[in-house]
Amino acid sequence: MKAILIGGGALVLGCVGWFALSGGSGPVAAPPVAGSFNYDAASVVARKDWLSKHADPMAKLFDRSLPKGNGERPHMAVSGWAVDARRRAIEVRVQVKGQYGIDARAVPAARRAMVDQICPSYVRSPLGANKVNLHHSFFGKGGREELSFVISPLTCRAFM
C-alpha cells in the first residue's frame, strides 16, 4: 500500500495544482456579487447574507478544482462551509479520503505555497477589500484535521 504524503506531496500538488488550473486565481475568484459592499456599515444580517452569497460560489469553485483521486490517490471534496458575520469569516471544510500519509515537516511549506497562490487574487477581490478571513481546513482519517490555513489581510500583507 503506497502512502501519499500530504504536506509535501498530494495536498500541496493538489491544492496548488488547482490554483494553476484555475489560472492561479484561487478560491476567491468566484463571481463577485454585483455592487460594492461596506462591511463595517452593514448590519449583522446584511453581512451574513453578503458572506453567504460569496461563500457558496467560492466553495463550489474550490471543490471542482480539488483532486478527485481514487484508490491510491487522495480524493478531496468540500464537505461544507459556514459564515461568521461577527468574526468576518468564511470557513471551508475539505474532506480528504483515500490512501495518504502525513509529512509534518512539509506542512509549513504547504501552507506558505497556498497562501502565496491565493493572496494576489484575494487582495483584489471584494472579500479582500472587506477584510474577510478565509479559513480552510482539511480533514482526513477519523475526522482529524490534517492541514489548515487562513487567508486574511494579515497573511496577505506582503501582497497589499
| 147 is a domain residue | yes
Beta strands, E only, the chain: 5-6, 75-84, 89-97, 101-102, 133-139, 145-151
Reported as a single tens digit per residue, the pLDDT across 30-76 is 444 446 899 999 999 999 999 999 999 989 988 998 888 887 788 99
In this predicted model, which residue has the larger pLDDT, 10 or 41? 41
Query: Does residue 125 surpass a pLDDT of 70?
Result: yes
| 40 is a domain residue | no
| 25 is a domain residue | yes
Question: Domain of 23?
Answer: 5-32+51-159
Q: Residue 80 sits in a domain of what CATH number? A: 3.30.300.250
Number of domains comprising the chain: 1
> Contact 125/143 with Cβ under 8 angstroms?
no
Query: For 8-32, what is the mean pLDDT?
Result: 41
Q: What predicted TM-score, i.e. pTM, was given to this entire model?
A: 0.77
Reported as a single tens digit per residue, the pLDDT across 114-123 is 888 889 999 9
**Residue 120 grid cell:** 494576489
Chain centroid to CA 13: how far?
14
Query: What's the one-letter identity of residue 70?
Result: N
Contacts of 9 (CB under 8 A, 6+ apart): 103, 106
| 70 is a domain residue | yes
| 110 is a domain residue | yes
Separation between Cα atoms, residue 6 and residue 113, nearest integer Å:
13
Query: Does residue 9 surpass a pLDDT of 60?
Result: no
| 90 is a domain residue | yes
Q: In which band, very low, low, confident or very high, does the pLDDT at 18 lie, cut at 50, 70 and 90?
A: very low
| 44 is a domain residue | no
| 39 is a domain residue | no
**Residue 46 grid cell:** 446584511
Identify the three-state secondary structure at position 68: strand
